[in-house]
Amino acid sequence: MRVVFLAATYPAEMVQFTRGLAEVGAEVYGVGDASKQSLSKELKGWMTDYLQVPRIMDEDDVIERVTQWMRGKSIDRVLANWEPLTILAARLRERWSMPGMSVDTVRGFRDKQLMKERVKAAGLRVPKSKRALSEADVRAAAEEIGFPIVVKPIAGAGSADTYKCRDQAELEAALAATKHVTECSVEEFIEGEEFTFDTISIDGVPAYENIAQYLPKPIEARSEQWISPVIITVKDMYQPRLLPGVELGRNVLKALNMDDTFGHMEWFLTPKGEAVFGEIGCRAPGGHLVDQMNWTSDIDCFREWARVACWKSFEAKAPRKYNCGIVFKRALGEGRITRIDGLNAWKKQAGRWFVDDQLLRPGSRRRNWKQTLVSDGFVVCRHPDWEEARRLSFAAATGIKLFAA
């Protein structure tokens, strides 16, 4: 099994997917724009070969370089788990007449307006939405849909450049902030809780499923620097109130023709108990959510995804043992981290339920919280009881403080 894996080095979790591919017996041909000299010895050991390209986002250039590089070799799979490269992977598959999702299919997971149109055509509930190519289009869509609305990039990832607008003044501010975005989706704002539906599917049928809750919703967490975003996987994901989301997610996979890969869907649970589609990607979730899934069930989803992508087989037993919470921290101040308060006390409080601590240490330069969910690091805990996992997570959110100067 020979696999071309796009962006084997970035984002950081792609290294673990490279490991997973090697561990299930694939010959991995990695592609990225990092230099070969910068790769760790461990990563080099997981790859049969590596091609450095000048610009990983330059699709036409990458296609020509990879085609030349692979000339004379038989390739079985072209894979990508970073959202901006899923179309590129599909273009390579089509050029080489290989199995896997087509460009048209992947576009349904990448283009937010097309995505909603296809999901709606399957009879599933989606927010009212319009495609907008200009400021005039955005204003017209806002008038037709009615406030509150959400303005977001058609092909964005996460909640970057995403704004909730409750009135015309907030809409004008959003337009000013998104002048660099060439194409937007304007959609109805859905009141309710926001969850994920994460899957590893075989022929579009989930072999593994996960639900996690965003606390607060990502659009709110992106609005204020003082917020410490919390995400908690739900141990009892098949409880009656969440079953509409599970059913919705499975039907969305069918509607969009998912095949053998990760899926990351976001959906809303309204106060009336209705599940409403948000968006979906045909790739693994970011923000260390795959790690949370692993800690929820004590499995290795990096390896199991690779086994599915290569061999259409998911072998791990995946009992849902824990609710696993991750808490992302943002330092107060600018510059370098000067101190951390409350961390040791929180670890003592969490005791055996503490899982991980990846906070930036004093002396480290703080990150731009608007550009990365991970912000200035994170802590992780887990517990078999939902309320206790939530309590510990929010104790970290409020009790741990990072300072910068």
Instruction: Answer for the pair 192, 214: CB distance below 8 angstroms, yes or no.
Output: no
Q: Does 3.30.70.100 match the CATH number of domain 128-188? A: no
pLDDT at 158: 57
In this chain, the answer to whether the domains covering 128-188 and 194-404 adopt an identical fold is no
**Three-state secondary-structure class, residue 342:** coil
Distance, in Å, from the CA atom of 304 to the CA atom of 8, rounded to the nearest integer, reads 17
- Which pLDDT does position 27 carry in this prediction? 98
Whether 389 and 381 have beta carbons less than 8 Å apart is answered as: yes
Query: Does the domain made of 2-100 have the CATH classification 3.40.50.300?
Result: no
The pLDDT score that the predictor gives to residue 104 is: 98
Write down the pLDDT at residue 81. 96
pLDDT in the model for residue 222: 85
The set of long-range contacts for 169-172, using a CB threshold of 8 Å and a minimum separation of 24, is 171/138, 171/139, 171/142, 171/147
State the pTM of this model. 0.93
- The pLDDT of residue 159 is 63
Q: Are 289 and 212 in contact (CB under 8 A)?
A: yes
The pLDDT score that the predictor gives to residue 156 is 66
CB atoms within 10 A of CB 147: 15
CB hemisphere CA count around 118 (13 angstroms)? 22
Question: What does the alpha-carbon distance between residue 222 and residue 225 come to, in Å, rounded to a whole number?
Answer: 7
Pairing assessment for the beta strands 163-165 and 149-153 based on DSSP bridges: antiparallel
What residue spans define the domains of the chain? 2-100, 128-188, 194-404
Residue 160 confidence (pLDDT): 72
- Give the per-residue pLDDT at 308: 98
CATH 2.60.40.10 fits 194-404, yes or no: no
How confident is the model at residue 370, as a pLDDT? 85
- pLDDT, averaged per 10 consecutive residues of the chain (405 residues), comes to 95 96 98 96 97 97 98 96 97 96 97 95 95 92 93 75 90 90 91 97 98 95 92 98 98 98 98 96 96 98 98 97 98 97 98 98 95 94 98 98 98
- 372, with CB counted inside 10 A (0-12, 13-18, 19+), is middle
